[in-house]
Amino acid sequence: YLFWTEWGQTPCIGKAHLDGSEKAVLVSLGIAWPNGISIDYEENKLYWCDARTDKIERIDLESGGHREIVLSGSNVDMFSVAVFGAYIYWSDR
C-alpha cells in the first residue's frame, strides 16, 4: 500500500495499492494539517501528526478504525512523526 496525507479544503489520510487502484480515505474528520505519517507494522497501526490540532493520533492500519489520541500539545507545530518499537519520535518547526 501507499499512504498519504492531504491538506486543503478536504484534508484526509488515504491509502491505495501501489498502482493507484482501490483508493480509500482512512481519516477525513477532525484533521486540518496532517503532516508526517508512520506505520507500526508490529502493532498494525498508522500514526500521524497534525500541525493545526497539535496532536499525534493513530488508527488501525487495515480498517482505519479505533482512532486514538496519542499525544496532545499546545503551541507546537508538529511536522513529522516516526515510530520505532515502544518509542514515538516527532519534530516540530
**Does 3.40.718.10 match the CATH number of domain 2-92?**
no
Grid cell listed for 60? 488501525
Domain extents in the chain: 2-92
pLDDT of residue 62: 83
Cα–Cα distance for residue pair 6/12, rounded to 1 Å: 5
Instruction: For residue 77, give the DSSP letter.
Output: -
Query: Does the structure show a pLDDT above 90 at 75?
Result: no
Cα–Cα distance for residue pair 16/24, rounded to 1 Å: 6
Helix (H, G, I), strand (E, B) or coil at 43: coil
Question: Model pTM?
Answer: 0.91
Write the CB contacts of 65 (distance below 8 Å, at least 6 apart in sequence): 59
pLDDT of residue 24: 94
